[in-house]
Amino acid sequence: MICKTCVLDSSIESLKFTNEQCNYCLKYIPLLKKKHIENSSNNQIVKIFNKISKIKNKYNCLIGVSGGVDSSYIVYLAKKYNLRPLLLHFDNGWNSELAVSNIKKITNSCGFDLQTYIVNWSEFRNIQRSFIKSGVIDIELATDHAIFANLINTAKKNNIKYILSGTNIFTEHAMPKEWMWRKSDIRNIKSIHKKYGSIKIKSYPTMGFFDWYIAKYLNFGPKLLEPLNMINYKKKNAIEILKSNYGWSEYEDKHFESLFTKFYQAYILKKKFNVDKRKSHLSCLIRNNEITRDNALKILSNNDYPGDLEREKDYFCKKLDFSKEEFDKILSEKPKSHLDFDNSEKLFKFSKKIYKFFYKF
């Protein structure tokens, strides 16, 4: 069964239907409409950016940049509202040439300082190998955790109070829970790597379980803000603005600024887990009135992502030191759950209850 509004279907275990409409559409369509109405005046973003601009430090905010549309648009907003950000890029060894070019164009044009954290490749490669061998679905956890940790650590080091994130409800909501894992769970990362890794974690950026939630929900330490949730954000409009202002170039698909993410989404997820993330990405755009359902279905009618995936498979295996035979064997094995390894899920659920209890008062 497929939702009559978006393109999510019953292959997703957590999906529920009411009158042929999925639970995500029922929840998020009214929420998105409400957010668009609330953001129509732009008062919220003007107020918070005016507050940030009055901070007298060399850098009054920190922005993580990947070269993707969301983080690039945050840089555009920072320039528009006369902020003084430090731009931070986490280089995990998988940047596409286009991503490097986009970061360079927007940084040079805006005149902001850029700091690049280059990961210890031998250590990080070993962690990525551990995740692939483990059979869990969210092998991006290794990169995403390090990005978040590096942002918090850099903000603390430079006494920067605000971190501006490109995360947004308009184009990134409603990812099925079985497709991902909590990015703050360092315990899960260490457990997986302990079993499958051969190099100890030493320089890899980490954060404690509560660090990200303190930054997002509480008012001490670096404060995480999501400016795209304060405006009527549309991906198509953002792309056109970035193109016209900076000569920014569009990617073939969402998150393709990273060669690792591209191969993970286009090949590994589909081969091993029977997951097509385009369904979620396109459904978000449908609910945000950026694409029609018919156009989304037309895109999905081509079962394959763009690009020469076999050639990219050769590059992927060589870079991570897998033989193609070994890699194919791993993909053929039964997937495992993140719950099969040590994790912080019970701690998270307990913390959520405590937060909701105090939030009521």
What the block records as the tokens of 38 is 């609330």
For residue range 281-292, what is the model confidence (pLDDT) as tens digits? Answer: 999 999 999 999
Regions of the chain short of the pLDDT cut 50? 360-361
Phi, psi dihedrals of residue 277, rounded to the nearest 5° = -65, -15
Look at the block and give the residue holding tokens 């509202």: 81
Q: What is the CATH number of domain 42-340?
A: 3.40.50.620
Q: What is the pTM of this model?
A: 0.94
21-22 vs 17-18, strand pairing mode: antiparallel
Q: Please report the pLDDT score of residue 236 as a whole number.
A: 95
Which residues, in sequence order, are bridge partners of residue 85? 61
Q: Is the dihedral of CA 325, 337, 168, 47 positive or negative?
A: negative
Angle at 323 between CA 319 and CA 328, to 5 degrees: 110
Dihedral angle computed from the Cα positions of residues 50, 55, 57 and 60, in that order, rounded to the nearest 10 degrees: -40
Report which residue type is found at 235: K
Q: Please report the pLDDT score of residue 361 as a whole number.
A: 42
Report which residue type is found at 255: H
Q: Please report the pLDDT score of residue 356 as a whole number.
A: 63
Look at the block and give the residue holding tokens 């280059």: 118
CB atoms < 10 A from the CB of 309, how many? 17
For residue range 340-356, what is the model confidence (pLDDT) as tens digits? Answer: 999 998 888 877 776 66
